[in-house]
Each structure stands twice: as structure tokens, then as C-alpha cells.
């Protein structure tokens, strides 16, 4: 009865609450609870709307530029974006900006219907997970993202918004099973009419495919005077449509089937640890992956002989395959001591190129090619000089700032999506007053924050550990930087050597005390 999409939606809602209570100084996502009969007020009109659906990677990226007009008699500031009940839990990286001020993201709220049930004690509770399905069975209620304009829009005023997000798990392989050497095709379904709670006057949708091989697609009838969709290379355009007389919420189903002969990579969990050592002047990074290929499965048994022949032509730049052959990880210049291990042990089929001025390259080849339905778990790690990521603030004594990317994983052309991301920053023992924020990038995920102690060798009370958790993250998050500010007193740097000295001194004292004990059996002669 439990649905993964509902759990994801619940997590997103809870994340909005906790992020608001954390010390994230630039949190842009909050939450809002709606009543069962809620309907967004009809105070806006979509005067002109252009949507772009990007299918070039293994997930869907949707961008909408819309000119909205306030049709109400009073200023308005809340613009609602509807999502289906079973799809909102797959949405990530939601970002909204005013075209006049594109560098500053607008504040966004997650608004969801909630059941309020009376329990035996007579109190009430909000239902988000299993019991939430009862609401869905009575109409599958629509959920919303709410964009809060930077300032209320006056009557008849207009503003152009740029809205984008990515969706995970919406692409399916057709056929679901293929031969080892066959091409892989994916199917995506959407509406030619952009879902909106407001009346839309004019609109069109542009779909970008990874190639011009689109054997099946829906055509519309009577919506335009010309052929619809219009083809231009690897792009299709549905519209433009004059929908001034179309009621809000009306859908026109469209299905496209296109070639995607690349791995459809999903990382069910990524654990990324960054350990800061002031004493050793080192920044150690380790990442643990649980990878899955969600593409078409093999219709017959895997043939090592056929794969060897196919790999020969692939190495020569001929042909393509939906199997995962290698992963390329771009590291900072100066990265050293890389390693690549899996459940069996060290994996020798890797290559490290450190002599690149702009970046170092770590090329990983799994023990076996990854086909549809196959899984592979592994870990990688490397070291950097601490000076490349940490600097001391001149304005504040004993205060440091750490700057690290949110994601540094594989950068394959087909992209990779992370269902769950756990980001740990392990600071030196004695660090305090931890603060953090994100910088750069678009579609910053909503985080759950935790702070705890991480104990390692020769620690006394333990090191301060900052844990950030997020869901529905894609490889585009590599452009997001996490800034961690902390205080590290001068005396705290001597905690480790003092601990080692006292431990050695205690060991020698204990050895001397044991050595001075008389362990003879007979009586000692005078």
C-alpha cells in the first residue's frame, strides 16, 4: 500500500520544514498545508507561455518561460504550479526566477493537501504517507509548488517568469527487453497543453531529443492550421496554440518514443564524505555509490564473446551501446591518492590522469558492463591539499570557511540521477559555531540538516559532523557549492598532539608500573 512517490513527497514536505528551522541562510523552499477543498484563486493569466522539455539525458528537464498578467483588482504575489498526486514526489531542483532579475531565485513553497483525522485522544494529526493514499483514492488530489514574487504584482501588471525543474523516474524503455546488440528506445508522456491552474492565451512546447531517431510520436488534430508537431533536426515543436477559450486544467495527451542508446543511470543512494584535517593540512573525500541501470533489460543471456566483439568496435568509435562501460570523474587539479574499490576489493580497471592544468581525471571501468536491470556498488576516494578548499577569514579571528562542490561524481554525457544524497562534512575536533549555505547553480535541492559527533582514532570528545540529506538530485548539482563556516580556536589545534603525548606518557607509566611489580613465587631473600 505504501507508494515510493508518496514517501518522497512527504520527505520533501518535511525537508521544507526542517530547512526553515536550520541555519541555512539562503533557504528558498518552505512548506504550506492546504485544506481538502482548496482551489488556487483565478487572479493571473498566462498571456504567453513557452515550454521546453529536454530529453537529452536520462532524466527530464523542463523549463517554462511565461508572461503572466494580474487580472485581479488587487495586487497578487502567489503563483501556483500544479503537479499530479503521484508525480510531485519525483520532482527535484525546482527553480523560479524573474527575467528582470535572473541572478536571484524567487522564494518557493511546497503546497500539499493534508488530511486531518481525529484519533482516539480527540486531537488531530497530519497524514503524509500510507494513510495519505485515502485522499488519492477519492480523486487523486493535485499538489502545488507556489512561487512567491519578489513584490506584489499590481492590477493589470505583467512579469515574465523562468521556471525550471527536473523529474526522475518518468522514462520507460520500449521494448522493455532487447538483445545485447539492439538499440534502446525510451517513451515519455506529457500534455501538449501545459498544465496550469490559470487561463493561457498562447502557448507552445519544444521537445529536445538526443538524436533525430524518433520512430513514434503523437500528432495533434485541429489545434493548429499547419502540421503539428513541426520537426527541426532533433527537436519537435508542438504549437503555437491559441488556447484563450480552453479551460484551465484541460490536457491533450502526447506520447513520444525516441532512441536513447545510452545507460539510464540511477544512483539509489550516494554517500559523500569530506573530512577536514588542519593538523595534516589535508582534505580527504570519499564517495559511496549504489548504482542501477533502469534501461531495457536483456532478452537473452549475456554473451561475453559478443560483448568482446562489440567492445572492440566501440573502442574504435564505431556504434553505441546502452550498457555502461565506464564512468569519468573530474577532480580538482592537485588531487592525489585516488582509489576505486567495490564489494570484492580493489578494482584495477581504472585510470588516473593528474597532469591536467584545469582538472584531474579519474576514469573508472566497472568489473563488468552494466546492462538494464543490473546493479553495481562501489566507492572512490582521493585527497587534496587543505589550502585548495579552506581559507581563514581576516575579519574574524579563528574563523574558517570551507568551499566544496555538492556533487563531484561522474560526468557522463547521459547524466546520472540520485534518488538519495547524504553529504557529510567532518570538521576538526574542537570546531564550533557551524554555519552553512549554498552558492551558485540552479535548482538547489531542499536539505535535511543534522549535526553530530564523529569519533575516530585518538579523538577525545569527537569531531563535529555536519550532515545534509536531499532527494531527487541530478548531476547538474555539480555547479552548486556548499560553504561551511566554522570557528577553530588556536588552542584546539594542539588537542591532537597533547592527546598523543598523554597517551604515550600513560603507556610508559603503565609499563613502568607493571615492570616494578614483584611477580616472583618464592620469598625474596634479604
How far, in Å, are 27, 281, 491 from residue 30 at the CA level? Answer: 8, 38, 40
pLDDT-derived band at 375, boundaries 50, 70, 90: very high
Between CA 108 and CA 10 the distance in angstroms is: 17
- In 3-state terms, the chain is what percent helix, strand and coil (to 5)? 15, 45, 40
From the list 354, 384, 360, 373, the residue with the least C-alpha distance to 281 is 384
Instruction: Kindly indicate whether the domain formed by 4-259 is annotated with CATH number 1.10.540.
Output: no
The dihedral built from the CA positions of residue 314, 318, 324 and 326, taken in this order, carries a sign that is positive
Q: What digits encode the pLDDT tens for the residues 450-465?
A: 888 877 766 666 788 9
Q: 160, 100 in Cβ contact below 8 A?
A: yes
At residue 451, what are phi and psi to the nearest 5 degrees?
Answer: -135, 130
* Correct CATH for 265-295+326-368+373-499 of 3.30.420.40, 3.30.465.10, 2.60.40.1730, 3.40.50.880: 2.60.40.1730
Same fold, 4-259 and 265-295+326-368+373-499: yes
The SS3 call for residue 50 is strand
Between CA 264 and CA 417 the distance in angstroms is: 9
Tell me the domain boundaries of the chain: 4-259, 265-295+326-368+373-499
pLDDT of residue 139: 52
- If one compares 356 and 62, the residue with the highest pLDDT of the two is 62
pLDDT at 499 over 90: no
Strands (E), 177-263: 177-178, 185-191, 199-208, 216-217, 230-232, 235-242, 253-259
From the list 257, 250, 258, the residue with the least C-alpha distance to 192 is 250
- Averaged over 401-424, what is the pLDDT? 92
Q: Cβ-count burial of 147 within 10 angstroms (0-12 exposed, 13-18 middle, 19+ buried)?
A: buried
Secondary structure of 125-187 in HEC code, one letter for each residue: EEECCHHHHHHHCCCCCCEEEEEEEEEEECCCCEEEEEEEEEECCCCEECCCEECCCCCCEEE
- If one compares 133 and 341, the residue with the highest pLDDT of the two is 341
Q: What angle (nearest 5°) sits at the alpha carbon of residue 406, between those of residues 400 and 409?
A: 130
How far, in Å, are 198, 327, 348 from residue 309 at the CA level? Answer: 56, 21, 22
Min mean pLDDT across 249-253, 266-270, 467-471, 508-512 is at 508-512
Peptide bond into 240 cis (omega under 30): yes
Amino acid at each position: 500500500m505504501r507508494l515510493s512517490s508518496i514517501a518522497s513527497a512527504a520527505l520533501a514536505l518535511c525537508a521544507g520544514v526542517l530547512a526553515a528551522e536550520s541555519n541555512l541562510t539562503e533557504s528558498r523552499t518552505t512548506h504550506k498545508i492546504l485544506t481538502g477543498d482548496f482551489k488556487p484563486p483565478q487572479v493571473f493569466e498566462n498571456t504567453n507561455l513557452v515550454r521546453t522539455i529536454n530529453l537529452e539525458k536520462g532524466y527530464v528537464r523542463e523549463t517554462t518561460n511565461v508572461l503572466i498578467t494580474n487580472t485581479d483588482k488587487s495586487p497578487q504575489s502567489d503563483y501556483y504550479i500544479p503537479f499530479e498526486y503521484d508525480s510531485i514526489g519525483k520532482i527535484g531542483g525546482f527553480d523560479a526566477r524573474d527575467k528582470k532579475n535572473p541572478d536571484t531565485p524567487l522564494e518557493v513553497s511546497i503546497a500539499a493537501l493534508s488530511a486531518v483525522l481525529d484519533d482516539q485522544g480527540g486531537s488531530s494529526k497530519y497524514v503524509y504517507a500510507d494513510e495519505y493514499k485515502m485522499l488519492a483514492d477519492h480523486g487523486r488530489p493535485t499538489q502545488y509548488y507556489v512561487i512567491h514574487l519578489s513584490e506584489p504584482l499590481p492590477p493589470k501588471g505583467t512579469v515574465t517568469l523562468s521556471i525550471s525543474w527536473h523529474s526522475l523516474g518518468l522514462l520507460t524503455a520500449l521494448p522493455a527487453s532487447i538483445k545485447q546488440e539492439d538499440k534502446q528506445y525510451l517513451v515519455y508522456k506529457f500534455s501538449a497543453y501545459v498544465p496550469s491552474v490559470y487561463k493561457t492565451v498562447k502557448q507552445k512546447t519544444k521537445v529536445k531529443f538526443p538524436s533525430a531517431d524518433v520512430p513514434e510520436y503523437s500528432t495533434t488534430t485541429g489545434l493548429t492550421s499547419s502540421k503539428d508537431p513541426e520537426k527541426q533536426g532533433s527537436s519537435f515543436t508542438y504549437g503555437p496554440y491559441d488556447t484563450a477559450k480552453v479551460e484551465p486544467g484541460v490536457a491533450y495527451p502526447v506520447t513520444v518514443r525516441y532512441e536513447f542508446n545510452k545507460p539510464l543511470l540511477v544512483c539509489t543512494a550516494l554517500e559523500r564524505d569530506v573530512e577536514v584535517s588542519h593538523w595534516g593540512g589535508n582534505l580527504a573525500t570519499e564517495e559511496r555509490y549504489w548504482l542501477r541501470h533502469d534501461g531495457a533489460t536483456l532478452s537473452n543471456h549475456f554473451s561475453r564473446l559478443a560483448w568482446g566483439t562489440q567492445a572492440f568496435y566501440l573502442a574504435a568509435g564505431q556504434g553505441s551501446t546502452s550498457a555502461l562501460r565506464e564512468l569519468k570523474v573530474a577532480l580538482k587539479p592537485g588531487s592525489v591518492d585516488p582509489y576505486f574499490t567495490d564489494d570484492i576489493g580493489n578494482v584495477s580497471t581504472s585510470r588516473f590522469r593528474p597532469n591536467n592544468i584545469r582538472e584531474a581525471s579519474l576514469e573508472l571501468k566497472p568489473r563488468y558492463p552494466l546492462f538494464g536491470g543490473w546493479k553495481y556498488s562501489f566507492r572512490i576516494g582521493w585527497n587534496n591539499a587543505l589550502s585548495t578548499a579552506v581559507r581563514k577569514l581576516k575579519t574574524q579571528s579563528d574563523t574558517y570557511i570551507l568551499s566544496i562542490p555538492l556533487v563531484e561524481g561522474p560526468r557522463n554525457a547521459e547524466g546520472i540521477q540520485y534518488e538519495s544524497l547524504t553529504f557529510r562534512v567532518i570538521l576538526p575536533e574542537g570546531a564550533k559555531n557551524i554555519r552553512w549555505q549554498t552558492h551558485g547553480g540552479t535548482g538547489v535541492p531542499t536539505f535535511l540538516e543534522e549535526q553530530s559527533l564523529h569519533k575516530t582514532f585518538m579523538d577525545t570528545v569527537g569531531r563535529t559532523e555536519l550532515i545534509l540529506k536531499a532527494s531527487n538530485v541530478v548531476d547538474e548539482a555539480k555547479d552548486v557549492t556548499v560553504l561551511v563556516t566554522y570557528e577553530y580556536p588556536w588552542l584546539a589545534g594542539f588537542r591532537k598532539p597533547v592527546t598523543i603525548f598523554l597517551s604515550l606518557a600513560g603507556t610508559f607509566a603503565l609499563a613502568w608500573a607493571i615492570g616494578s611489580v614483584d611477580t616472583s613465587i618464592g620469598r625474596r631473600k634479604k
